[in-house]
Chain A
Amino acid sequence: MSAKEFHELEMFLENRNLLFCYHGFLSQSILTPLTKTLKAKIKAEDKPTQATNKVLYVFVELAQNIIRYSAVSDDIELNEEKCSKGSLAIGYYDGAFFCISGNVVTNRQAQHLLNQFESLRDKNSDELKFMFKQRLKDGPLEDSQGASLGLIEMARRSSKPIFYDFIDISDENKFFTLKITI
């Protein structure tokens, strides 16, 4: 990649209102200091505390989902930590933060995710709160009913319906993106 191309990439990202964009290998060891810096950076931007806390929550949840579930992971020695490939971005547009994640998933994972998004569709905050309490009681999501605690919690912090997309990249895999607007 030439300097010109790298600059073009930077301009591409800046023009899309991104404050931060990360692509590549991701682990808890990267996430922890990143979150600490992000917290300080967002606080310095002087946005409302509620919004700041929600952004951080969603950012960490998205990142840990990539680490845990990305279909592309590396076998490295890192204190038994998982290292996976994905992309994460945070932006600010029209008075609101947004977080985007992207990673490869298997077709099976994609179907499982679609089922979860379906169960979250058109739910208001009271209904989501109910789903949250129910998921706590019922334990981890085993079958195709309902959504995982993490997804429900992100939906609760989202000011708009969750935006998601799956792009076919091979016979076995899709590229999954998720956008949460705070």
Chain B
Amino acid sequence: MRIEIPSTDATPYVLIDFANSVVEFAGESFPEDAAMFYEPLLSKIKEHLESNRDLNLAVNFKLSYFNSSSNKFFYKLFNMFEDASEFHKIGVNWYHLEEDDMSKEAGEAFSEEVEHIPFSFYTLESL
């Protein structure tokens, strides 16, 4: 399965590429209706994880900004990955700007919620 959505001024670039073992979110996320944007993506990912076994997945988060409603969907996404970790190997790469403590803390909050998904943190000069 491969889905690639270009970024807009309020929604992130999204790449879901199971053939290349990568899921990526990059840019900014503040849609008015986060459910409308994220629910379909979460469903597709969940469906694919449930109907396959032994996948390797790198999940890259390169978001310079995301609003509180997007936050809720990422939380859902990570819980989904946690459930899927029984049958798949999933790791998260969390990128944030060097001075952005809040983004780092958001990533850390997610990493503390999941036991079987390793999080790696990276700083960037710009996102």
Contacts and interface: CB of A to CB of B under 8 A. Distances in A.
A32 B9 contact: yes
Interface of A is mostly: helix
A35 B9 contact: yes
Interface of A: 28, 31-33, 35-36, 48-50, 53-54, 56-57, 60-61, 64, 67, 81-82, 129, 132-133, 136-137, 139-140, 148-150, 153, 156-157
Contacts of A54: 102
A101 to B, nearest CB: 15
A67 B30 CA distance: 13
The range of chain B's interface size is 20 to 34
A49 B99 contact: yes
Q: Name the residue in A33, A49, A53, A132 with the highest tally of chain B Cβ atoms < 10 Å from its Cβ.
A: A53
25 contacts: A28-B31, A32-B30, A35-B10, A35-B30, A36-B9, A49-B99, A49-B100, A50-B99, A50-B101, A53-B64, A53-B102, A57-B65, A57-B102, A60-B30, A60-B65, A60-B67, A61-B68, A64-B30, A133-B112, A136-B109, A140-B72, A148-B68, A150-B68, A150-B69, A153-B71
Contacts, number: 69
B71 A28 contact: no
Contacts of A33: 9
Contact of A136 (B30, B72, B97): B72
A53 B68 contact: no
A64 B31 CA distance: 9
Interface in B83-127: 97, 99-103, 105, 109, 112-113
A132 B109 contact: yes
A106 B97 CA distance: 40
A133 B106 CA distance: 9
